[in-house]
């Protein structure tokens, strides 16, 4: 594209899963759109993650339609995202090696800078996600000899073999790291956490335990969120007791409107008694001694941070937008789930997708409606949603705002059939 030509209908920043799916639905809606990706290939974070990283759901929940998916680990997920590009002929609409800077609102739309020049568009989709900057809490370090790695930087899990390892964090990344330490023969494992996320205790492998089809059936049966909570708690609490995990039951009751349903890690559960557990945060590292806020000290060779990511929107000139650092704050600044309250014609897809459900399927539904909104056939309102809108609840939410994509008298039966009748080992159809 010549950068001083007529503006695009839609500019999409980020060529990860969200950006690729957005381009497909923009083209299907007849909109002139391009993706701008800073890396040399599509995939976003999945292009950079270590090969051991995998998804939190089953393969059938990730896959859509006939798009191939050979497994649930990083190489297969990246290949699946690349398959979207090939399957829908999107390569000519993706500008690689095109980092975006100085994004600013202008009359009639948006303008931003790339290495090739200025790009203008009527609508802007910021598909750079919420996992931009590895988050490591501040720690006092004095002549530390402890090697420190964020979960995203542990390229070779064999580094833990024979080492004294401290794992920090109370969510999915920390659970992964604990499982890796057990799989690769760490000498000792100490787990430091402040709060804990709910997960599903099970002896099944993660790619089986991560299925969300049972949750879809709860939704399709007409249960309220409170009833879903009761059903899930009634199953999970006995599982915690069965595996002897009462000590790590989270303080707050499980809530489908705010929590993610994370699959258990079978090695972690089978070897739970061998993991030293310390509640608190890492305060300092001196030599090879790690000191925790409760005063406990641990000798360590390796400190692994399973502490997540911060949002990076520093490419926006708007101070209000650039200052947002986490996905909850971003979700609070969006109406209609994705529509920015700080600027017109700006969309942040997926800010609430770390809940329960299939991210690719949710992105497909979401982008279909965003394109309907841009075409004037749907109306995304400016009311923030103070909780997550999970899985098939997203259908109900979008149908009320997008009659073009959800024909009256038809969509309820169609999506109820998908929820109740799709076999657990079969992918959902592409919307």
CA separation for the pair 237, 10 (Å, rounded): 47
CA separation for the pair 225, 214 (Å, rounded): 14
Q: Is 70 helix (H, G, I), strand (E, B) or coil?
A: coil
For 252-268, how does the pLDDT look when each residue is reduced to its tens digit (9 = 90+)? 999 999 999 899 888 99
How many angstroms from the chain centroid is the CA of residue 341? 22
What is the percentage of the chain residues whose pLDDT exceeds 70? 98
pLDDT at 6: 74
Structure tokens at 124: 């802007």
**CB burial of residue 418 (10 Å; 0-12, 13-18, 19+):** middle
The alpha carbon dihedral of 97, 11, 78, 269 has a sign of: positive
Structure tokens at 222: 């007409």
C-alpha gyration radius of the chain: 22
Using the predicted structure, report yes or no on whether residue 349 has a pLDDT greater than 90: yes
Per 3-state DSSP, the chain is made up of helix, strand and coil in percentages (nearest 5) of: 35, 20, 45
Backbone angles phi, psi at 339, to 5 degrees: -90, 120
Question: Which pLDDT band, with edges at 50, 70 and 90, does 2 fall under?
Answer: very low
Q: What is the pTM of this model?
A: 0.95
CA separation for the pair 217, 214 (Å, rounded): 5
Structure tokens at 178: 């604990």
Q: Are strands 199-200 and 188-193 parallel, antiparallel or unpaired?
A: unpaired
pLDDT at 4: 47
pLDDT at 1: 41
Mean pLDDT of 353-371: 92
Mean pLDDT of the chain: 95
Backbone angles phi, psi at 350, to 5 degrees: 80, 15
**If we measure between CA atoms, which residue out of 146, 185, 132 comes closest to residue 304?**
146
CATH numbers and ranges of domains, the chain: 8-132+311-421 (3.50.50.60), 136-308 (3.50.50.60)
pLDDT at 117: 96
Using the predicted structure, report yes or no on whether residue 5 has a pLDDT greater than 70: no
For 268-310, how does the pLDDT look when each residue is reduced to its tens digit (9 = 90+)? 999 999 999 999 999 999 999 999 999 999 999 999 999 999 9
Mean pLDDT of 143-168: 98
CA separation for the pair 408, 411 (Å, rounded): 7
């Amino acid at each position: 594209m010549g950068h001083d030509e007529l503006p695009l209908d839609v500019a999409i920043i980020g060529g990860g899963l969200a950006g690729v799916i957005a381009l497909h639905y923009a083209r299907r809606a007849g909109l002139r759109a391009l993706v701008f990706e800073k890396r040399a290939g599509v995939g976003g974070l999945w292009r950079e993650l270590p090969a051991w990283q995998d998804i939190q759901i089953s393969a059938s929940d990730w896959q859509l339609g006939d798009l191939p998916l050979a497994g649930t680990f990083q190489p297969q997920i990246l290949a699946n995202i690349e398959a979207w590009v090939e399957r829908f002929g999107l390569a000519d609409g993706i500008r690689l090696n095109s980092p975006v800077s100085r994004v600013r609102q202008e009359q009639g739309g948006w303008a931003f800078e790339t290495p090739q020049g200025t790009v203008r568009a009527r609508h802007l989709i910021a598909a750079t996600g919420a996992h931009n900057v590895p988050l490591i809490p501040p720690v006092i370090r004095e002549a530390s000899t402890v090697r420190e790695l964020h979960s995203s930087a542990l390229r070779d899990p064999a580094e833990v073999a024979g080492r004294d390892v401290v794992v920090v964090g109370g969510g999915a990344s920390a659970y992964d790291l604990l499982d890796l330490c057990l799989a690769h023969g760490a000498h000792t494992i100490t787990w430091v956490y402040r709060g804990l996320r709910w997960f599903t205790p099970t002896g099944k492998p993660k790619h089986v335990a991560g299925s969300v089809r049972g949750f879809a059936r709860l939704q399709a049966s007409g249960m309220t969120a409170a009833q879903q909570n009761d059903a899930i708690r009634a199953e999970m609490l006995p599982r915690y007791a069965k595996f002897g995990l009462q000590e790590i039951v989270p303080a707050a009751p499980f809530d489908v409107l705010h929590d993610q349903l994370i699959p258990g890690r079978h090695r972690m559960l089978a070897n739970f008694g061998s993991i030293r557990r310390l509640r608190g945060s890492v305060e300092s590292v001196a030599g090879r001694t790690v000191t925790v806020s409760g005063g406990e000290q641990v000798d360590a060779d390796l400190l692994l941070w399973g502490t997540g990511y911060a949002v990076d929107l520093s490419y926006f000139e708007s101070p209000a937008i650039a200052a947002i650092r986490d996905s909850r704050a971003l979700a609070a600044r969006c109406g209609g789930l994705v529509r920015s309250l700080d600027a017109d014609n700006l969309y942040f897809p997926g800010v609430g997708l770390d809940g329960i459900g299939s991210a690719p399927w949710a992105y497909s539904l979401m982008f279909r409606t965003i394109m309907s909104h841009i075409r004037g056939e749907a109306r995304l309102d400016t009311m923030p949603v103070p909780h997550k809108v999970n899985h098939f609840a997203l259908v109900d939410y979008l149908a009320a705002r997008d009659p073009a994509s959800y024909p009256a008298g038809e969509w309820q039966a169609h999506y109820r059939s998908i929820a109740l009748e799709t076999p657990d080992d079969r992918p959902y159809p592409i919307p």
